[in-house]
Amino acid sequence: MTSQPGIADRAPRILIVDDERHNRQLMEIMLTPEGFHLLTAASGEEALDMVAREAPDLILLDIMMPGMDGYEVAGRIKGNLATKDIPVIMVTALGDRNARMLGLEAGAEDFLTKPVDRAELVVRVKNLARLKTAGDDKHHLMLEDEVGSRTADLVTRTETLEQQAVDREQAGAALRLLTERLSLATAVARLGVWEWDLGSDSLTWDATMFDMYGLPHQADLPYARWAAAVLPEDLPAVEAGRRSSIDAKGQGSSEYRIVLPDGMRRSISSVERVILDYRGTVSRVIGVDMDVTERKSAEEALELIRQDQLRFKDDFLSHVSHELRSPLTAIKQFTSILLGGLAGELNKEQREYQEIVLKNIGQLQSMIDDLLEVTRLETGKLTIALESVSLGDAVTDTFNTLQETARARGITLSCTMPPDLAQAYADQTRVRQILIILLDNAIKFTPEGGAVTVQARLHKEDPRFLLLEVSDTGCGISPETTERIFERLYQVSEPTQTSRKGLGLGLYICKELVTRQGGRIWAQRREEKGSTFSFTLPVFSLYSTIAPLFRNDKWPAESVALVMLEASWPGAWPAAQSREEWSQEVRDILQRCLLPNLDVLLPSVSPGSQGERFFVAAFAAEAGTAILVNRIRGQLERAPGLNPPGLTIATSYTMLPPWPRDAEATTEAALSGMATHLIQAMTSHIFPGCLS
């Protein structure tokens, strides 16, 4: 063999022989950065051809190949004078003892075990390639020495390995099978495989990945190149997900969109798993990407169709209800005119019959209302505004509404409730709505002379809730029915029921309303007679309503202020508008003045008969708070309807004690502390001694 001039400048030429494309690519990816000139052959025959033509400096030779296998290739290379000095590294499956022995006999210089470790591969290739290209006798001798010592080493290792041969052989077989399956699966599923080396912050991709991202194939890809391909708005979530997989030393998945070099968008579904090094620290993340663009767009199309159908149903229901109301208006108008005597005095029968007409108009009207209510429930248009609610007031209002109906049927209404019952944290209008439906049902199904009672008390089983029970002395309900009675369109079909049924939406609406206020509803047959409908509502507590507002990871600024708006009317409420509407408008205005992530409008605190108070927790320093207060004042002044004569509105604020702005601040205890500060400020500044 000859030493060529300028040989040191020539990149060592490495021939990679493997029948598996993936294996060849993997080796290429590992060796390219080292500056080698790489050649590849997919079979033994091709390898011999390449050796003759290209005279490589080193051969990496896979053993298991169809046709001519690695042993035969090595034997022929070593048996040929022209090529016998080219070092051969045989690549074998882990623990394949016989393979090593046979390879050694065939004249191979070194061995590498699959899966190939990158660092090991580079070191071994560099050693042998240098020996070969330097090419003098001394080196040749050194090479022989090296081979000799390595052979001895390998024999020792082989003996050791023999101990575990059975286990390893099984493991090796399983691994080969898995590798086969994996490469088949990735090819069929068009999965791209990637590896992220955290040390160098670079990515190693297989060919599918490059095709998927529309990038030219290359060995190492800087991580930033991948990040640049991801749609900017999707990137933070993906990176956060990967970060948490790494932190947890586990795995994760994400879906995101990428932009190809030609500007096309594709959707990618990605799964990653963290690989630990021998010290147990995270060194690499491997993952699989799949292009799910078609699936995504199919899903989106389906969702659009579904939305469209829902919208059609809702539009249809709204339209029908509206159109039904118009003729009903005229019917009710003229019935009222007749009953009002505006078209002449009615005799007893005429009056009685017109009353029947009017009653049925009422039923039709409430069915239309129910239909619209259900449409609202199902389209999310129904709003629930939670505040502190007096159940006593709600029951009194309901009794006032239904007293006439009950009296007409000879049914007595009564209510028992402890005078000091806590307030509920609920929506006042919705609580009344629930009570009206339940009481109206109870009256309807109770025979003349019966009684309907409402009981309200603290729920014994869970004192965070109030329990309301509506009991009647009617025909009762069967146990099977109690389970199903709250279903939509469910109608009681028992022989004892003679009353007209309606749409069967009332109890469904009740259940939805109760659930959306955080409560529970159920029905029972009473032991003596009739049935009881029970529902729960959360007890209003400043702490439990305020504390959750602060469980926010965007835990902001330096200090917190409590802004207070106090309205008072020394005499009676100015008549021009309803107080509830006024109150809602004030809340709307406050909400408009707030910064979405920095200020919180606190729940209403039970309004008094001559004053009402609104609170805002503002995450601001004093200067910022002053600006906020001015903004609120300005907005209120520009809404003349909110300042009727006889009503005064005062706006003020107080700064809360500061608390540590460090990692501790986000703990539950610190948040609780915050809520407690606020409550103390609210109680001590506004209602001295009023709240416990």
Binding site for another protein (CB under 8 A): 318, 321-323, 325-326, 328-334, 336-337, 340-345, 361, 365, 372, 376, 381, 575
Measured from the Cβ of residue 568, the count of other Cβ atoms closer than 10 Å reads: 14
Q: Which is nearer to another protein, 329 or 552 (CB)?
A: 329
Task: Find the shortest distance in angstroms from Cβ 300 to another protein.
Answer: 28
Least distance in Å: CB of 369 to another protein?
9
For residues 62 and 66, give the distance between their C-alpha atoms in angstroms, rounded to a whole number: 11
Distance CA 641, CA 631 (A): 18
Sheet holding 58-62, edge to edge: 37-41, 13-17, 58-62, 88-93, 110-114
Q: Measured from the CB atom, is 6 or 380 closer to another protein? A: 380
Compute the least distance from the CB of residue 319 to another protein, in Å.
11
For another protein, the closer of residues 323 and 622 by Cβ is 323
Nearer to another protein, 379 or 676 (CB): 379
Pairing relationship of beta strands 13-17 and 58-62 according to DSSP bridges: parallel
Q: Which H/E stretch holds residue 40?
A: strand 37-41
| Cα 133–chain centre separation | 59
Question: Least CB distance from residue 324 to another protein, whole Å?
Answer: 8
CB 419 to another protein: min, Å = 33
* 575 class by beta-carbon count within 10 Å (0-12 exposed, 13-18 middle, 19+ buried): exposed
Q: Are 26 and 119 in contact (CB under 8 A)?
A: no
Contact (CB, 8 A) for 637 and 508: no
Of 183 and 321, which has the nearer Cβ to another protein? 321
The smaller minimum CB distance to another protein, of residues 366 and 534, is found at 366
Comparing CB distances to another protein, the nearer of 294 and 315 is 315
Label residue 318 exposed, middle or buried (CB < 10 Å: 0-12, 13-18, 19+): middle
For residue 92, the SS3 value is strand
Spatial distance between the Cα atoms of 285 and 276, rounded to a whole number of angstroms: 9
Q: Which is nearer to another protein, 197 or 355 (CB)?
A: 355
- The minimum distance between CB 571 and another protein, in angstroms, equals 18
Using only C-alpha atoms, the chain has a radius of gyration, in whole angstroms, of 41
Considering the complex, state which of residue 1 and residue 358 has its C-beta at the smaller distance from another protein: 358
**Alpha-carbon dihedral 380, 386, 392, 394, rounded to 10 degrees:** -30
The residue type at 603: P
Least distance to another protein from the beta carbon of 305, Å? 26
Taking the complex as a whole, the smallest distance from the CB of residue 406 to another protein amounts, in Å, to 19
Cβ atoms 94, 173 nearer than 8 A? no
Q: How far is the CB of 382 from another protein (least distance, A)?
A: 8
